[in-house]
Structure 1
Amino acid sequence: MKKKKKRAQLPFRLNLLFFVVFLMFSILIIQLGIVQILNGESYQTEIDRTIQDVTKIPVPRGKVFDRNHNVVVDNKPMYSITYTPQKGVQAKDKLEVAEKLAEFISMDDEKRIDAITPRNKREYWYLKNEEEAVKRLSEEEAADLKNAEQYNLILERITDEEIEGFTDEELEVIAIKRELDKASALTPQIVKNEDVTPEEYAMIAEHLSDLPGINATTDWDRVYPYEDVFNSFLGSITSQEQGILAEREQYYLARGYSRNDRVGRSGLEEQYEDVLRGRKEQIEYTTSKSGTVIDSTVIVPGERGKDLILTVDMDFQAEVDEIVGDELSKIIRAHPYANRHMEDALAVVMNPKTGEILAMSGQHYNRETGEVENAAFKTIYDAHRPGSSVKGATILAGYESGVIVPGQSFNDQKMKIRGTPAKGSYNNLGWVNDYDALRRSSNVYMFYIALRMGGEYNYSYDKAVDFDPAAFQEMRNYFHQFGLGVKTGIDFPFESTGYVGNERKAGLLMDYAIGQYDTFTTLQLAQYVSTIANDGYRVKPHLVQEIRNPVPYEDTLGSVYRRQETEVLNRIDMDNSEIRRVQEGFRQVFNASGGTARTHWGNNPHQVAGKTGTAENEVFVDGVKYDTENLSLVGYAPYNDPEVAFAIIVPNIGKNSGDSVNHKIGKRIMDAYFDSKEHENEDEE
């Protein structure tokens, strides 16, 4: 029996397939209709959201504290009016905002009005008289010029008479618009912040909906609880008008700054800008193609800058300032004629083992006002001949170069190289060894070291010498190991390295060996004596002890972000036994019979060791030359376990004045330091 063919099932399956396809297309068409008709507008907006821009909002800078955690630099909030334009804002839009803003704030102070340029006035006249202004350019002229060129030519044809006679109200509007014009799209621009009154702030805040792009917010200014104490080193920041420094614009812009950001312009504010600046709040704006802001999101929360903890005790610093200023005033007033060319007294106090700066004081006598002014920056900016204070380095250079041996003696009597003046010590001291040379400050002993380093071992009075000029560089290399004539490495934007003489004669190296040729800063001298106190280890001086993370609480310090550890720059290339001989010589200077400082420091309870110095100098006042002296003093205490070192220079004192201002300053500073240590120990107990 034959089977039947199943032809009827095929059309049914095809029909079913066609039906399913038809149903799917129907659903798709309905869905497209819904998208197009019901949600088309909202989806089109989403499509237009193609631009995301990020703007950065400034935050307060980090604070500065002294070593005892007293606030040294703080932030003071102040009212601020800012303008953040959207993209595509036109000049007419800004003028409209400026006119509305002028109803609520005053911009009529002399500084802002004086800043208005003729171009600012012409741009204002153009916007108020655009139809008339455009007619001043023919169609033929316009055809050959770009838009910007057309605009500039029109401005040129606005006459001086037309921009004269603006009312005070109009000038105020021009001043406001001038600030608005500085703003970049989606970047806040300060319009007014230094003298915004509470009334102005309240009025702006109330009418923000009528002032597109304007905001009433808070800015910060720096305040100094200790006023001008240590101000030279704290430094300053730029104003909002200045913004980032023009000479370093690309540097700052590459690091995410805006042009109107305030930055450190000097001192520690500049040195530690990267940590003091904080982290700006970053807001991402979503804008339509037309530039309208659709949404905003904080993508990076703001955080104020990190805090600096100084090595300086501000109370001790203030006391050192008072001591140095007081002694400077006394000596000038006591010897007005002899000291009419004297103006400064400088002192540096540091921990010789850690490099922590404990105080840096520079006081300047203003002869016009008769007042003493703070000039602490001179301790690292100004260099002077220090005289015999550097003889410790000379003795050690003699040991290491092999031209003398410990205990070697020379007959201290006047010396003379043919064709040059005779040189000697303040008296003929007779036979002196290295201890004697330091204790009694023998120049002649140092002269022999200098001549021998130059190859002259057979010196005779008033004879020519056989001298190798290369000895200058050799001697300087030894001095450099102590920090004399090179940068100390202090955490500060600038420091002088002093004058380096370019003549290389035997007599001048003799002068160099007693500190009367090249010049050195007070800080260099402090590092030099600290190196001797620290058994030959030269440590890097620093002003900042720690950097702390910020916290939102006023009276609390954050965790340690970075601590400045002691950094040894080098160890001088001399034996321990040789260093100990110089340490003993320095002890004898202050404490043994015949020591040049014994009269002033004998029986001092602080066990001070060091070296005195007097350098001949000359200055010109009103074209008249005066012979003067630089008085110096370097030291450390206690000499058996040094915890403090100091250097003092009082330049251009009257020659042979007989005053011991360097010792007076040094003794008072040591008294103040050890008194503060006693109080500190009492507080701890």
Structure 2
Amino acid sequence: MTELRNVEADLSRFRARLLVAGIVVVLGFLLLLSRLVYLQVVRHDDLLEQAESNRTAIVPVVPNRGLILDRNGVVLASNYSAYTLEVTPSKVSDLEQTIDELSQVLEITPRDRRRFKKLREESRSFESLPLRTRLSDEEVAKFAVQRYRFPGVEIKARLFRSYPYGELASHVIGYIGRINQSEKEKLDESEDAANYRGTDYIGKLGVEQSFETQLHGITGVDSMETSAGGRAMRRLASSPATPGNTVKLAIDIKLQHMVEELFGERRGALVALDPKTGEILAFVSKPTFDPNLFVEGIDSESWQALNESIDKPLLNRALRGTYPPGSTYKPFMALAALETGARTPEQSIADPGFFMLGGHRFRDDKEGGHGMVNMYKSIVESCDTYYYVLANDMGVDTIHDQLQRFGFGELTGIDIHGEVRGLLPSTAWKRKSYKRADQQKWYAGETISLGIGQGYNNFTMLQLASATATLANNGVKMKPHLVKEVVDVITHAPATTEHESVGEVIAKAANIAVVKGAMVGVNIEGTSAASFRGAPYTSGGKTGTAQVVQIKANEKYVASKMEERFRDHALFTAFAPAEDPKIALAIIVENAGFGAKYSAPIARRVMDYWLLNQYPSLQDIEAVKKGMAPAPIGKPRTVAELPWPPGAPAAPVAPASGASGASAASAPAKTASAASTVR
């Protein structure tokens, strides 16, 4: 049976399907057209920007770090550029094997490996870390041939900090180091986050840290055209970086060098400053360290040697080391007595060689005593008994209130970080510091030793030098500062540090004159007369010998029987010229013994340098190191005759062939926390 088809119905269905298909195609084209309009018109600007960002890359240009100079323009910190071999750990499958294979192409020392390991522990895996630094052109070429074998390893040109005099003044200058995680987090949260893009290093200590903002400069940017693989093809635009400003210190680096040389291998500190301005002329802490070790990242063994050394080379003794001031405290006690009316200059006591309190015998350093002692004699001959009696009469809180005015137990406000307060005791301090009632109580016997600068008294050499300068400046206290001026790298205009007085005049002029006159007597006929014999200027001073450990009442101190680190400290304070002081200082030589024998001779050479332009002879330097030359011996040299730089530079020198050397900024120049209380 033949099936009859309805042709009209089939045509009708076909037309309907064709219509639907046509509508779908038209709708599809309309959707494509609308999408095209959306992309080409609505999102044109946004997509153009994205396209440009795929084609271009914004590369930060790290600024040259500013120079650090001494007061005479000698460069103490500068920059040089060099090639580095860098590894990004996250891009390397087997790091140890890669380093082993790299060592067959380039020399990689065990110290390089240790330093790289320490950097890895302190950084994120995606950061590029230097494995080798200061590559020569030949080494760069060697690696370039083999580069395809080492994904995640590349050669970069970087700026490095250089400290040309190595350990000299290292506690003042400080150093820079790689930005660690905590520092990065702080920078990211600060307003300077954009200015540190591309920067790997930051000031860690000293002036490098405290003047980071001035020294860092302003980061520039390069707009680079890149290939599909991300390789830079050409520079499209550039905004150059602005170098950091030049920081000029008040320090005289030759004076600093002389003092460090006179200390020799001994430990201690010296601070010398201008009493009228507060400018610090020398800021010595011995032993020192080489800041160049930290620039490329210090290896674990070198860090351990510095950090665990019994001599504590990382401790800035001038800023953070606290010591009992010993007899250098007596002039301030005498002035406090005059100010409170506890003594007059003429008032005398009979000194039998001891002071008795509650059955305890406080001994004088002189057997049999000094006889009848007035204020002048008490300072010139350093009579302990006079100050035992005085301390007992004044009481601890009166002593505290009077001595605090000189800055003892207070921050001086110096322009580098890390200063400590020291300790000026009082009854309120003891109640706050101890928990048990019997410990909180202040006992009368504790007051007696305060009068001779012992007991709980502990101060920094910076505080002692500042107090001496205040006395020399007739009671006007000036804020001490290390930086003399900051020179703008663009305009070359210097911004001079303001000479800032602190508080009111400390004491009456007549009372200050009495004490200063007695200190002049110390250097003429007293305990330090031998050191200042023949000086063509008049100076004031005070020797001090501070106990490190307590000696029992029935025992006598014999230095030769004591372990070296338990022996007395040698201290000295001084100012000159007496009639118009231009320099004041405080010095301590740890565990050396008598201040007159070991500290006063160094102070004499400092005065001669500053006032007479004299540098000690080689014979004199060696004798002072051994405590065998109170007054200068041999023919002194003029400062101009001193060979400079002293010996071979300790800083790493940029390779002869490699990336060109770079200076941080154009500036006038003559040449190119381990912290603990010391008791």
Q: Which category describes the TM-score, using the shorter chain as reference length? A: 0.5 to 0.7
1:182 aligns with 2:126: yes
1:564 aligns with 2:497: yes
- Give the equivalent residue in structure 2 for 1:24: none
Shift of 1:382: 1.8
Q: Distance in 1 between matches of 2:116 and 2:496?
A: 48
CA contact (8 A) 2:112 2:132 kept: no
- Give the equivalent residue in structure 2 for 1:162: none
- Give the equivalent residue in structure 2 for 1:3: none
Query: Where does 1:433-444 land on structure 2 (aligned, <5 Å)?
Result: 433-444=374-385
> What SS does the aligned partner of 2:247 have?
strand
Q: Distance in 1 between matches of 2:85 and 2:220?
A: 18
Distance 1:659 1:198, change over 3 A: same
Shift of 1:300: 4.1
Q: Distance in 1 between matches of 2:377 and 2:214?
A: 51
- Give the equivalent residue in structure 1 for 2:542: 611
1:233 aligns with 2:172: yes
- Give the equivalent residue in structure 1 for 2:13: none
CA contact (8 A) 1:245 1:265 kept: no
Query: Where does 1:134-153 land on structure 2 (aligned, <5 Å)?
Result: none
CA contact (8 A) 2:528 2:596 kept: no
CA contact (8 A) 2:249 2:484 kept: yes
Spell out, residue by residue over 1:126-156, the C-alpha distance to the aligned partner (whole angstroms, 9 max, x if none).
xxxxxxxxxxxxxxxxxxxxxxxxxxxxxxx
Spell out, residue by residue over 1:402-435, the C-alpha distance to the aligned partner (whole angstroms, 9 max, x if none).
3234433333333211132244462523333322
Q: Distance in 1 between matches of 2:351 and 2:116?
A: 74
Shift of 1:602: 4.0
Q: Distance in 1 between matches of 2:203 and 2:116?
A: 27
- TM-score of the pair, normalised by structure 1: 0.65
Distance 1:473 1:318, change over 3 A: same
Distance 1:452 1:67, change over 3 A: same
Query: Where does 1:612-627 land on structure 2 (aligned, <5 Å)?
Result: 612-618=543-549
- Give the equivalent residue in structure 1 for 2:187: 252
> What SS does the aligned partner of 1:611 have?
strand
- Give the equivalent residue in structure 2 for 1:585: 518
Shift of 1:318: 1.2
Distance 1:665 1:568, change over 3 A: same
> What SS does the aligned partner of 2:567 have?
strand
Query: Where does 1:246-645 land on structure 2 (aligned, <5 Å)?
Result: 246-253=181-188, 254=190, 255-256=192-193, 257-258=196-197, 261-283=200-222, 298=237, 300-325=239-264, 343-364=266-287, 377-413=316-352, 414-424=354-364, 426=366, 427-454=368-395, 472-499=396-423, 502=430, 504-517=442-455, 518-550=457-489, 559-591=492-524, 593=525, 595-618=526-549, 628-645=567-584
- Give the equivalent residue in structure 1 for 2:66: 62
Shift of 1:302: 0.2
> What SS does the aligned partner of 2:580 have?
coil
Q: Which amino acid in the other structure matches residue 495 of structure 1?
A: E
Q: Distance in 1 between matches of 2:482 and 2:474?
A: 22
CA contact (8 A) 1:281 1:298 kept: no
CA contact (8 A) 2:60 2:198 kept: no
Shift of 1:346: 2.9
Distance 1:270 1:520, change over 3 A: same
CA contact (8 A) 2:171 2:285 kept: no
* Structure 2 unmatched ranges of 5 or more: 1-32, 290-310, 431-440, 552-558, 616-637, 643-679
Q: Distance in 1 between matches of 2:575 and 2:92?
A: 70
Question: Which deviates the most, 243-252 or 282-291?
Answer: 282-291
Distance 1:348 1:446, change over 3 A: same
Shift of 1:528: 1.3
Distance 1:514 1:194, change over 3 A: same
Distance 1:415 1:116, change over 3 A: closer
Q: Distance in 2 between matches of 1:516 and 1:425?
A: 14
Spell out, residue by residue over 1:40-74, the C-alpha distance to the aligned partner (whole angstroms, 9 max, x if none).
79x96973424868552212211111111111112
Spell out, residue by residue over 1:530-579, the C-alpha distance to the aligned partner (whole angstroms, 9 max, x if none).
1100111121222111111236xxxxxx6234211212223343212111
- Give the equivalent residue in structure 1 for 2:81: 77
Distance 1:102 1:671, change over 3 A: closer
> What SS does the aligned partner of 2:126 have?
coil
CA contact (8 A) 2:112 2:131 kept: no
Distance 1:260 1:375, change over 3 A: closer
CA contact (8 A) 2:92 2:151 kept: no
Distance 1:116 1:635, change over 3 A: closer
Q: Distance in 1 between matches of 2:572 and 2:109?
A: 52
- TM-score of the pair, normalised by structure 2: 0.66
1:47 aligns with 2:51: no
Q: Distance in 1 between matches of 2:143 and 2:45?
A: 32
- Greater relative contact order structure (CA < 8 Å, 6+ sep): 2
Distance 1:60 1:619, change over 3 A: farther
Q: Distance in 1 between matches of 2:132 and 2:397?
A: 56
Q: Distance in 2 between matches of 1:293 and 1:310?
A: 42
Q: Distance in 2 between matches of 1:289 and 1:433?
A: 90
1:669 aligns with 2:609: no
Q: Distance in 1 between matches of 2:288 and 2:216?
A: 36
Distance 1:409 1:110, change over 3 A: closer
> What SS does the aligned partner of 1:348 have?
strand
Shift of 1:309: 0.8
CA contact (8 A) 1:348 1:526 kept: yes
Shift of 1:668: 2.5
Shift of 1:112: 7.3
Spell out, residue by residue over 1:252-307, the C-alpha distance to the aligned partner (whole angstroms, 9 max, x if none).
22322348610111121111111111111134679999999999765642012111
Coordinate RMSD, CA, aligned: 4.8
> What SS does the aligned partner of 1:49 have?
helix
Q: Distance in 1 between matches of 2:639 and 2:102?
A: 57
Distance 1:619 1:323, change over 3 A: farther
> What SS does the aligned partner of 1:276 have?
helix
- Give the equivalent residue in structure 2 for 1:156: none
Shift of 1:529: 0.8
Question: Which deviates the most, 205-214 or 600-609?
Answer: 205-214
| Residues paired across the two proteins, number | 526
Q: Distance in 2 between matches of 1:538 and 1:54?
A: 52
Q: Distance in 2 between matches of 1:384 and 1:500?
A: 11
Distance 1:181 1:447, change over 3 A: closer
Spell out, residue by residue over 1:339-361, the C-alpha distance to the aligned partner (whole angstroms, 9 max, x if none).
xxxx5243222211111121123
Question: Which deviates the most, 658-667 or 380-389?
Answer: 658-667
Question: Which deviates the most, 492-501 or 43-52?
Answer: 43-52
> What SS does the aligned partner of 1:596 have?
coil
Distance 1:415 1:182, change over 3 A: same
CA contact (8 A) 1:276 1:306 kept: yes
Q: Which amino acid in the other structure matches residue 76 of structure 2?
A: V
Shift of 1:191: 5.9
Q: Report which of the two structures shows the higher radius of gyration computed on alpha carbons.
A: 1
Q: Distance in 2 between matches of 1:259 and 1:617?
A: 49
Distance 1:528 1:104, change over 3 A: same
Q: Distance in 2 between matches of 1:437 and 1:400?
A: 17
Shift of 1:103: 13
CA contact (8 A) 2:284 2:318 kept: yes
Q: Which amino acid in the other structure matches residue 435 of structure 1?
A: Y
CA contact (8 A) 2:355 2:389 kept: no
CA contact (8 A) 1:244 1:259 kept: no
Shift of 1:647: 1.4
